[in-house]
Every structure is written in C-alpha cells, then in structure tokens.
C-alpha cells in the first residue's frame, strides 16, 4: 500500500505563500525538500504547479485540477481530485508526497503517516495560510536546524512527525 506523506514549510504564523510564490528564499530548505521528495510521486494543486513552473525532476508529478483544459507536459499527469491522484500512484512509487497547497494538505492529512514540517522562524505576511495541525498524538523528531546567514534571511527548523499508532482513515 502506498504511503502518504505531507511536506511543507510555514512561518510561525502559518503563512506558506504570497502572490503565488513562497514568502522566502531559503536555499537549504529547498534543498531539503528536493532531497526528501526525490524518487517519489508528488501530488500538487494547480497553483503550486504553476509556482514551480515545471515538474520536479526525478519525481512522478501529478497536478490536481478540476479543469480538463489544463495543458501539461507529457510526463505530468492531471487528476480531478485527491483520490484520483492517489489512484494514479498505486504501483508507481513507495511513497507519495502531497506538496500543497492548503486544501490538499487538509484533505490528505487524515490519510498521512508522515509529515515533514519546516518552521521558518518569523511572522510573515502573505495570502496563503496552512491550518495549525495538531501533532500532539504523533511522534516528532527534529531533523535539521539552520540559522540566519548571507543566503538565509530567516532561521528554520525541520520536524518529521510520524503517526504513533494506526488510526481510522490511514491507508495502511
């Protein structure tokens, strides 16, 4: 059975996007995102796909959109819903990462076994905010921290949350 993971970066006040982009430039955080997702399937909303401007290399890319007029490269699939996107991943990859945005994170969380959450140490203004998910029942480890430097205007910490026990709604 395919394993569902979420991966996102949020500010302390849960901002994840501004004007269709990330509200920050944090090269080491983006490198972590690429490392973790590489070789897996990635499911994203249409706006998130447009932000990336291309598919993620080394991943099976699926874009969720209600529009069947969306034009995509041959190696990127469209799905009309999250369940349809997940059904396209069966037998394609061991892990499926939901990489945004807000409504897909919300819908996928009850089915997820794992969440990579980066907390960017700042309160930031934007137009896209993720829910404050409750991980108190999950097992959490701190994966990485990075301070402010010439390339990183904000410090950040990466957490990996894993479900502590099997609960209803999980896919395994």
CA distance 116 to 9: 8
130: region left, alpha or beta (phi > 0 left; psi from -120 to 50 alpha): beta
The residue with tokens 């999980």 is 170
Our finding on whether 8 is near ligand NAP (CB under 6 A) is yes
Interface positions, 94-153, toward ligand NAP (CB under 6 A): 99-104, 107, 128
Q: How far is the CB of 12 from ligand NAP (least distance, A)?
A: 13
Q: In the bound complex, what is the minimum distance in angstroms from residue 103's beta carbon to ligand NAP? A: 4
Using rule CB under 6 A, residue 20 touches ligand NAP: yes
Alpha-carbon span 144 to 157, nearest angstrom: 6
Supply the Cα-derived Rg of the chain in whole angstroms: 16
Residue 81 found at the interface with ligand NAP (CB under 6 A) = yes
Residue for token digits 């932000």? 51
Name the minimum Å distance from CB 142 to ligand NAP. Answer: 18
Which of 18-26, 87-95, 152-160, 161-169 is the region at the interface with ligand NAP (rule: CB under 6 A)?
A: 18-26
60-65, long-range: CB < 8 A, 24+ apart: 60/89, 60/92, 60/93, 62/88, 62/89, 64/104
Residue 9 contacts ligand NAP per CB under 6 A: yes
Indicate which single residue of 2, 4, 6, 22 sits in contact with ligand NAP (rule: CB under 6 A).
22
Figure out which of the listed residues 2, 16, 56, 86 binds ligand NAP, where binding follows CB under 6 A. Answer: 16
Q: Strand runs (DSSP E) across 14-94, as ranges?
A: 15-17, 41-45, 60-64, 76-79
Per CB under 6 A, residues contacting ligand NAP are: 8-9, 16-17, 20-22, 44-48, 51, 64-67, 80-82, 99-104, 107, 128
């Amino acid at each position: 059975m395919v394993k569902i993971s979420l991966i996102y970066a949020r500010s302390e006040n849960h901002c994840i996007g501004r004007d269709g982009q990330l509200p920050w430039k944090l090269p080491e955080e983006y490198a972590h995102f690429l490392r973790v997702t590489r070789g897996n399937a990635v499911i994203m909303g249409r706006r998130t796909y447009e932000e990336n401007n291309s598919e993620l290399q080394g991943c099976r890319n699926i874009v969720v959109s209600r529009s069947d007029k969306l034009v995509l490269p041959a190696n990127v699939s469209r799905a009309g819903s999250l369940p349809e996107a997940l059904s396209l991943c069966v037998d394609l990859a061991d892990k499926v990462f939901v990489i945004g945005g807000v409504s897909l994170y919300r819908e996928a969380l009850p089915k997820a076994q794992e969440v990579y959450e980066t907390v960017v140490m700042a309160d930031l203004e934007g137009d896209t905010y993720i829910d404050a998910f409750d991980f108190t029942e999950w097992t959490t480890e701190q994966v990485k921290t990075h301070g402010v430097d010439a390339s990183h205007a904000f410090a950040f910490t990466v957490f990996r949350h894993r479900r502590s026990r099997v609960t209803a709604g999980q896919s395994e």
